[in-house]
């Protein structure tokens, strides 16, 4: 077995999307080569309704898949095909935009005002860019949860872990998407085939991965007593992105509080990426065609 070294380590950057939703972006445009087939990861954990309640009004998607994983609060969604629904804590929606869809996502906090979750974008290969749109809405109860002998807990959203398959299937890049909690002080390894790209996104606790230094401070937002935001550096590992190099296993050493992170891997597509907001195609000509169809009312087929 060869342990995957760390290729890069970074902190998610504060940004705004939709109608002014405050979130943190782990990676996006211009950073996809090392995480192909994935395009973007947004962390929308927030505890103040005023920073997220305006949501993500109607907007288009084409050529990609969006994966929404809710930890706390709820997200109401609707689309141009007439579908409506609500994602609650622990639920997952895997939307294949394919040839085109218009949809909206409107978050609502829980009783404590919390709206927590993630959205990951996955690319579609050229042959599937214009496939039929489809949804896979997965309630929390259908996501397998495994507890290893050492106390490590794994939620298997997509892919296979020790013979247990997640409920999301039929995805082009054959991704694995795990929500992993490792107890304090434990060292744990996870198999990731050498041909896959893989990353970890830490969102609770702290820890170290192979070839990294001791747990490090990351820049996070805090609210002062008078309601102002300030940036402070904490030694939690929160909102840290670890992109791995080649190898066939990922090794993590949990810190004193344990560590919780997403471990995501997929087979790279290795095709040209032409990107215009929520539309991702292979060429600039295809992008221009998509925008023209959007402007002339022919985007939805």
Residues 86-130 have pLDDT tens digits of: 999 999 999 999 999 999 999 999 999 999 999 999 999 999 999
214 has pLDDT over 50: no
Cα–Cα nearest to 143, from 164, 117, 114 = 164
Q: How confident is the model at residue 296 (pLDDT cuts 50, 70, 90)?
A: very high
DSSP 3-state assignment of 290?
Answer: helix
- The pLDDT assigned to 229 comes to 54
Q: How confident is the model at residue 228 (pLDDT cuts 50, 70, 90)?
A: low
> HSE of 184 in the Cβ direction (CA atoms, 13 Å)?
3
Helices (H), the chain: 284-295
3-state helix, strand, coil in the chain (%, to 5): 5, 55, 40
286 has pLDDT over 60: yes
- The pLDDT assigned to 147 comes to 97
Residue 284: which region, alpha, beta or left (left: phi > 0; alpha: psi -120 to 50)?
alpha
The structure's pTM equals 0.90
DSSP 196-233: SEEEEEEEEEEEEETT--S---EEEEEE-TTS-EEEEE
- The pLDDT assigned to 76 comes to 95
Convert the pLDDT of each residue in 125-153 to its tens digit.
Answer: 999 999 999 888 999 999 999 999 999 99
């Amino acid at each position: 077995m060869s342990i995957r070294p760390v290729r890069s380590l970074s902190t998610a950057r504060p940004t705004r999307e939709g109608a002014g939703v405050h979130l943190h972006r782990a990676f996006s445009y211009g950073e996809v080569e090392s995480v192909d087939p994935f395009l973007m990861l947004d962390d929308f954990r927030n505890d103040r309704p005023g920073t997220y309640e305006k949501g993500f009004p109607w907007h288009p998607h084409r050529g990609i898949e969006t994966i929404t994983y809710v930890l706390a609060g709820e997200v109401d969604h609707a689309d141009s095909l007439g579908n409506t629904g609500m994602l609650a804590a622990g639920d997952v929606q895997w939307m294949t935009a394919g040839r085109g869809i218009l949809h909206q996502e409107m978050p609502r906090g829980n009783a404590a005002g919390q709206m927590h979750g993630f959205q990951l974008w996955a690319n579609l290969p050229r042959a599937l860019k214009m496939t039929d749109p489809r949804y896979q809405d997965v309630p929390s109860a259908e996501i397998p949860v495994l507890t290893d002998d050492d106390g490590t807990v794994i939620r298997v959203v997509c892919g296979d872990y020790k013979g247990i398959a997640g409920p999301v299937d039929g995805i082009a890049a054959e991704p694995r998407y795990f929500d992993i909690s490792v107890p304090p002080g434990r060292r744990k390894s996870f198999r990731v085939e050498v041909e896959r790209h893989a990353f970890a996104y830490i969102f609770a606790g702290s820890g170290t991965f192979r070839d990294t230094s001791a747990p490090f401070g990351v820049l996070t937002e805090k609210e002062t007593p008078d309601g102002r935001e300030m940036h402070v550096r904490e030694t939690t590992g929160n909102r840290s992105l670890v992109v791995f190099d080649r190898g066939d296993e990922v090794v993590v050493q949990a810190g004193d509080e344990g560590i919780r992170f997403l471990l995501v891997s997929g087979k790279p597509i290795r095709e040209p990426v032409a990107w215009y907001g929520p539309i991702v195609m292979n060429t600039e000509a295809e992008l221009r065609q998509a925008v023209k169809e959007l402007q002339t009312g022919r985007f939805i087929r």
